[in-house]
Amino acid sequence: MAITVNLDVMLAKRKMSLTELAQKVDITLANLSILKTGKARAVRFTTLDALCRALNCQPGDILEYTEDGE
């Protein structure tokens, strides 16, 4: 897939655990894990907004587009 999820990078930069982020964003740990591993098929804008607020970042810090084959 051409979209890469860099949630683990942002968590490391913010020195935050996945569990802590799940509590701040009010999303289940299982759903956050699915997003983190790139297995999610869709992300709601409300979820993306909450992630950006909790991590103090921009959507482009979490989601990255790359050409297929790179």
CATH number, position 27: 1.10.260.40
| Cβ–Cβ < 8 Å for 19, 29 | yes
* Mean pLDDT, each 10-residue run in order, the chain (70 residues): 90 96 95 93 95 97 83
- What is the per-residue pLDDT for 40? 92
Does any domain span residue 59?
yes
Does any domain span residue 70?
no
SS3 69: coil
Does any domain span residue 41?
yes
Does any domain span residue 39?
yes
The whole domain housing 45 covers 3-65
- Domain count within the chain: 1
- What is the per-residue pLDDT for 24? 95
Distances (CA, A) of 50 to 11, 26, 59: 14, 9, 10
Does any domain span residue 51?
yes
Does any domain span residue 50?
yes
Name beta bridge partners: 64: 4
